[in-house]
Each structure stands twice: as C-alpha cells, then as structure tokens.
Structure 1
Amino acid sequence: MKKRKIHSRKELQALRKELRNRLTPAEATLWKHLKSKQLQGRRFQRQHSIERYIVDFYCASEKLIIELDGQGHYTPQGMKKDAIRTERLQVLGFTVIRFENKMVFDQLPLVLATIQDHFKTGV
C-alpha cells in the first residue's frame, strides 16, 4: 500500500511560492527570527503545505506549526474555518500554535519564548 503524500503537494507549489513572495508584515518580521536556524537551531519553513492547507511556518523536527492571524481570522466564519483546520492538523500529529499579528510587533520576545516552549527535543 502506497503512503499518501501530505507535505509539499505539487498542486499547491505555485500558491506557496506566491505566498512566500508576499509575506504579511507580521510574517516577514517573525521570519527574520526563525530563518537560518536562528531559534535554538531549529529549521523552519515558511508557507509549507500539509494536505490541502498552507501553514505560515513549519518546523519538521518538532512537528510544530505556527500560524499568524489577522483580522479575518476573528470573524465567526474565520474562527470556525481555523478550528476545523487546526483539528485536522492535530489529528495528523502536528502541534499548532497561533498568534495574533499584533503580538509579533508588540510582544516578539514572548512569541519567540512561546514557540521555544513547544520544542520537545534537544538540539
């Protein structure tokens, strides 16, 4: 039985590239602190796809997903959609943590500390 590919699916490649080329200001700010293994030596990817979802940041060694949420996520429809998405990703074995975009600008040290608190393994 062939194992179904869930990461970096070909049909989402163009969209992932487009999203990487136009990061939100919050994503660009956080990426400066995650790229090049700057956070405790962990390798993060941006705009990584898992099944049909494209997540903002992904650390494979930790199975950790980081999502930054803007205003559209705080509507009833946005919250319902995010809950379904988070539940599916958790069923697949991933940990999902979410931050409001504003937190990246106002409380970056707390955001980075919270991410590190979710690391399970030593480097």
Structure 2
Amino acid sequence: MAITDQKRRDQARRLRHSQTPAEVRLWSGLRGRRLQNYKFIRQYSIGPFTVDFLCRDARLIVEVDGATHSEDHEIAYDQRRSAYLRAQGYRIVRVMNDDVYRKFDDVWT
C-alpha cells in the first residue's frame, strides 16, 4: 500500500513540474489565496486519480481540459473519474484550455 501511495505522490510531483501552459496560467490566479482567499493546491491525488487543482475547504476541484478530453473513450474515463470524485464529496468545475487563454476573466470569476 505504501508503495502505491509513494507512486501517486511521485506522479503528482512530476505533474506539478510539467504543467501545461493553461494550467500554469490558471495556477497564477489560484495560488496564494488569490481567489476570494481560498487556498488551492495543485496536482493532488484523491484515491486513484490526480486532480489539477483542489480547494480542500470548499471541496472543490478545478480541472483544465484540452483536446485529449474529446474522444469517446476519454469522455467515458472522465465520467467515471468525476463520478468517483463526486462520491467522495467533491464538486468539479471543468474549464477548457482555450477558455483559460481567451476568456480568462470569465474562467476566473
């Protein structure tokens, strides 16, 4: 069990160091309690999944999705993943990469 936990932590660490440009941009707005004083963390493992951004206090997950979330098998995976996370008591907000770039103010609010 500890090995699995260590693998998840290592994966989350790798993801933090290789964020997409859209994730970097959104993180610049979420970090340091910049969004209504909520504390967000990034690339956090919940069960078998790693989420992009998490506000523990609000039990809110923010996912930044790109083109890799548009095929049938990817959509089905996201639905299973979302169902699991909701069953754990989390709310999920999904934003598209393009919205982070072109409509940042809308995403931000």
Answer whether TM exceeds 0.5 for this pair.
Answer: yes
Match of 1:29 in 2: 25
Aligned residue type for 2:26:
L
In the alignment, what sits opposite 1:97? 93
> Aligned pair 1:20/2:23, yes or no?
no
**Structure 2 counterpart of 1:60:** 56
Q: Does structure 1 residue 48 correspond to structure 2 residue 37?
A: no
In structure 2, runs of 5+ residues without a counterpart are none
In structure 2, the partner of 1:88 is 84
Deviation at 1:112, TM superposition (A): 1.2
Root-mean-square deviation (CA, aligned residues, Å) is 0.8
User: Is 1:71 the equivalent of 2:67?
Assistant: yes
**3-state SS of paired residue (2:77):** helix
Separation (CA, whole Å) in 2 of partners of 1:56 and 1:14: 15
Structure 1 runs of 4+ with >4 Å offset: none
Distance 2:12 2:89 in 1: 22
Q: What TM-score results when the alignment is normalised by the length of structure 1?
A: 0.83
Residues in 2 aligned to 1:14 and 1:88: alpha-carbon distance in whole angstroms: 22
Unaligned runs of 5+ in 1: 1-8, 114-123
In the alignment, residue 65 of structure 1 is paired with which amino acid? I
> May I ask how many residue pairs the two structures share in their alignment?
105
2: CA distance between counterparts of 1:34 and 1:74?
25
Task: For residue 62 of structure 1, report the CA deviation from its aligned partner.
Answer: 0.3
Q: Which amino acid aligns with 2:75?
A: M
Separation of aligned partners in 2, 1:17 and 1:77: 26
Alignment partner of 1:33: what SS?
Answer: helix
Between the aligned partners of 2:27 and 2:74, the Cα distance in structure 1 is: 24
